[in-house]
């Protein structure tokens, strides 16, 4: 096995699809494949979001792998309906079902035909997500695309509402986006909305399906929206916004994840133009406080060499932010292989793009470590899977993105907008100060 395939800087496509699926109201995700896939993904998501998460499986065996999973699929759907009574069953394929050539959409159509007279037959949606084809990030966006393609079919008078496709972000950031859009007096469908389903309240009574999520009727009406806004420059080959534009003439505007002042300004300016309203004073003040915070902390971050890694659009956003606060991104790494990362970084950063930046796609943590030994960075910014490298090199790590398994509160991390950026900036500065304080033989109390 070569180094490029060891401890990859990514997770599997069905995992990302399950996160997106949890953003649908009344949904139960299902994997068409082996039980191990569902068990792994449940465990991974529970460790990050700290919420109970059910993911059904068609439970492939050796016999199923040879003769096909039709029987298992039907039994699985029967069990889901009888035990969970979902409004939507969202199905993702796995490596095994894709490798043997299962036609999952055919299985869905066949099941619907057989049970055509069943009262309350749930909506069934399929996303093709073989892990050998992409990352969890691509699985997330493939699921978003599949849901919109399956449901957005209403025709009629175009409404005044807009679609906001929010990307793979924390439940807290989803809530913050909804707050921002509401403050601009915009009627928006945000999808996927797992702000409640993956970050719920304490229950007195157990719910088999978590409350919350984007209503399927809202997704159906996405074809009648006046505009779609997608957060992210690097998505899948065809995104939900692209599909609505090509199929229903819903204009799609793409902007980056609003992290940092530059990218947040783009997002707020876009909302201002769409709503025909000035940026609310609330956010003008948040921006002003962020500028003041930059000034306060500039001496601590200036010239610090940073390794930034994770999902491609997250890397773009964090790199732009790091560059604008005076840090030196020296390695920008991702497990994704879109081939768009370096060009996107150059376009977004503009004059702030440095020749010192090493850009790595399809990266593993082993390759990252080798690169870092030569680059001698001051800190890492990314998910918790990089912790062992930070520990070995004795540098601080600032945990953002997915997954964060060694700290509590990943579901509450806010980094979007001026307010979220301020929190992230403080986190970075304090990580550097703590490291300097810990290493000092004197132990300064004023830093």
Percent of the chain beyond pLDDT 70? 98
Q: Quick check: 308 pLDDT over 70?
A: yes
- At 18, which CATH number? 3.40.50.1980
Buried-state track 173-203, b at ≥16 Cβ within 10 A, e below 16: bbbbbbebbebbebebbbbbbbbbbbbbeee
97 and 178 in a single domain? The answer is: no
Work out the number of other CB atoms within 10 angstroms of the CB of residue 133.
15
**What pLDDT score was predicted for residue 97?**
86
Minimum mean pLDDT among 74-88, 154-168, 311-325, 353-367: which range? 154-168
Characterise 153 by phi-psi region: left (phi > 0), alpha (psi -120 to 50), beta (else). alpha
320 and 371 in a single domain? The answer is: yes
184 and 265 in a single domain? The answer is: yes
Mean pLDDT estimate for the chain: 93
34 in a domain, yes or no?
A: yes
146 and 195 in a single domain? The answer is: no
157 in a domain, yes or no?
A: no
The DSSP annotation for 205-263 comes to S--SS-S-SB-HHHHHGGGG-SEEEEE-SS--SS-HHHHHHHHH---EEEE----HHHH
Q: Based on C-alpha coordinates, what's the Rg of the chain?
A: 22
61 vs 164, more confident = 164
**What pLDDT score was predicted for residue 447?**
64
Q: Quick check: 3 pLDDT over 50?
A: no
105 and 126 in a single domain? The answer is: yes
- For the record, the structure tokens of 278 come out as 């000035």
**Cβ-based neighbours of 354, under 8 Å, separated by 6 or more:** 323, 328, 329
HSE, CB side, 13 Å, CA atoms: give it for residue 237. Answer: 3
Q: What is the mean pLDDT of residues 128-144?
A: 93
User: Whole-angstrom Cα distance, residue 286 to residue 291?
Assistant: 9
- For the record, the structure tokens of 81 come out as 């309906």
Q: Quick check: 419 pLDDT over 90?
A: yes
Regarding beta strands 123-127 and 188-191, do their DSSP bridges make them parallel or antiparallel, or are they unpaired?
A: unpaired
**What pLDDT score was predicted for residue 440?**
85
330 and 186 in a single domain? The answer is: no
Work out the number of other CB atoms within 10 angstroms of the CB of residue 362.
18
Regarding beta strands 227-231 and 252-255, do their DSSP bridges make them parallel or antiparallel, or are they unpaired?
A: parallel
- For the record, the structure tokens of 85 come out as 């009574």
Q: Return the SS3 of 378.
A: coil
Using pLDDT thresholds of 50, 70 and 90, give the confidence band for residue 203. confident
The answer to whether 407 and 348 have CB atoms below 8 angstroms apart is: no
Q: Return the SS3 of 285.
A: helix
**What pLDDT score was predicted for residue 158?**
77
Q: What is the mean pLDDT of residues 294-321?
A: 97
**What pLDDT score was predicted for residue 267?**
98
Q: Which of 103, 127, 151 lies at the terminal end of a domain, its last residue?
A: 151
**What pLDDT score was predicted for residue 206?**
84
Q: What is the mean pLDDT of residues 62-69?
A: 71
131 vs 5, more confident = 131
Domain total in the chain: 3
The DSSP 8-state label assigned to residue 122 in this structure reads P
144 in a domain, yes or no?
A: yes
Helix, strand, coil percentages (3-state) for the chain, rounded to 5, are: 50, 15, 35
36 vs 308, more confident = 308
User: Between the CA atoms of 79, 84, 85 and 86, what dihedral angle is there, to the nearest 10 degrees?
Assistant: -110
Give the sign of the dihedral formed by CA 315, CA 317, CA 323, CA 325. Answer: negative
301 and 357 in a single domain? The answer is: yes
37 and 143 in a single domain? The answer is: yes
Q: Quick check: 194 pLDDT over 60?
A: yes
Q: 231-268 pLDDT, tens per residue?
A: 999 986 789 999 999 999 999 999 999 999 999 999 99
Q: Return the SS3 of 339.
A: coil
Work out the number of other CB atoms within 10 angstroms of the CB of residue 302.
11
218 vs 64, more confident = 218
Q: Return the SS3 of 392.
A: helix
Domain range for 130:
3-151
444 in a domain, yes or no?
A: no
Q: Which of 151, 172, 205 lies at the terminal end of a domain, its last residue?
A: 151
147 and 203 in a single domain? The answer is: no
Q: Which of 275, 296, 318 lies at the terminal end of a domain, its last residue?
A: 275
Regarding beta strands 358-360 and 379-382, do their DSSP bridges make them parallel or antiparallel, or are they unpaired?
A: unpaired
79 in a domain, yes or no?
A: yes
Q: Quick check: 300 pLDDT over 90?
A: yes
Q: What is the mean pLDDT of residues 4-26?
A: 90
446 in a domain, yes or no?
A: no
402: phi then psi, degrees, rounded to nearest 5: -130, 135
402 in a domain, yes or no?
A: yes
Buried-state track 229-240, b at ≥16 Cβ within 10 A, e below 16: bbbbbbbbeebb
104 and 174 in a single domain? The answer is: no
Q: In what order do the strands lie in the sheet with 123-127?
A: 56-57, 27-32, 88-93, 123-127
398 - beta bridge partners?
381
392 and 412 in a single domain? The answer is: yes
**What pLDDT score was predicted for residue 382?**
97
Using pLDDT thresholds of 50, 70 and 90, give the confidence band for residue 1. very low
232 in a domain, yes or no?
A: yes
52 and 128 in a single domain? The answer is: yes
371 exposure class (CB count in 10 Å sphere: 0-12, 13-18, 19+): middle
322 vs 117, more confident = 322
Q: What is the pTM of this model?
A: 0.95
């Amino acid at each position: 096995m070569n180094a490029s395939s060891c401890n990859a800087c990514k997770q599997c496509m069905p995992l990302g699809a399950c996160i997106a699926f949890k953003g649908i109201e009344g949904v139960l995700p299902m994997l068409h494949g082996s039980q191990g896939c569902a068990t792994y993904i449940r465990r991974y998501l529970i460790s990050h979001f700290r919420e109970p998460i059910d993911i059904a499986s068609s439970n492939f065996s050796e016999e199923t792998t040879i003769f096909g999973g039709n029987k298992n699929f039907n039994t699985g759907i029967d069990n889901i309906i009888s035990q969970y009574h979902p409004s939507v069953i969202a199905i993702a394929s796995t490596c095994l079902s894709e490798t043997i050539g299962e036609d999952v959409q055919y299985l869905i159509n066949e099941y619907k035909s057989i049970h055509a007279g069943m009262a309350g037959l749930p909506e069934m949606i399929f996303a093709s997500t073989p892990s050998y084809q992409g990352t969890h990030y691509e699985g997330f966006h493939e699921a978003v695309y599949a849901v919109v393609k399956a449901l957005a079919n209403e025709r009629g008078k175009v409404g005044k509402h807009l679609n906001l496709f929010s990307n793979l972000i924390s439940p807290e950031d989803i809530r913050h986006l909804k707050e921002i859009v509401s403050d601009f007096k915009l009627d928006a469908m945000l999808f996927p909305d797992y702000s409640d389903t993956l970050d719920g309240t304490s229950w007195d009574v157990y719910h088999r399906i978590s409350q919350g999520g984007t209503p399927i009727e809202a997704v159906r009406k996405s074809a009648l929206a006046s505009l779609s806004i997608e957060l992210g420059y690097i998505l899948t080959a065809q995104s939900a916004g692209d599909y609505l534009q090509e199929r229903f003439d819903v204009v799609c505007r793409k902007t980056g994840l609003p992290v940092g002042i530059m990218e947040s300004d783009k997002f707020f300016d876009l909302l201002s133009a769409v709503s025909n309203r000035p940026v609310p004073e609330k956010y003008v003040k948040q921006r002003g406080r962020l500028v003041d915070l930059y000034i306060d902390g500039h001496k601590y971050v200036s010239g610090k060499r940073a390794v930034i890694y994770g999902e491609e659009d997250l890397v773009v956003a964090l790199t732009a932010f790091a560059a604008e606060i005076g840090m030196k991104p020296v390695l920008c790494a991702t497990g994704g292989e879109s081939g768009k990362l370096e060009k996107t970084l150059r376009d977004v950063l503009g004059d702030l793009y440095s020749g010192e930046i090493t850009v790595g796609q399809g990266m593993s943590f082993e390759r990252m470590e080798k690169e870092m030994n030569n680059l001698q960075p001051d800190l890492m910014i990314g998910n918790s899977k990089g912790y062992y490298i930070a520990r070995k090199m004795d540098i601080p790590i600032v945990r953002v993105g997915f997954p964060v398994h060694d700290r509590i509160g990943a579901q509450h991390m806010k980094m979007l907008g001026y307010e979220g950026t301020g929190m992230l900036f403080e986190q970075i500065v304090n990580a550097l100060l703590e490291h300097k304080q810990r290493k000092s033989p004197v132990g300064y109390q004023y830093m």
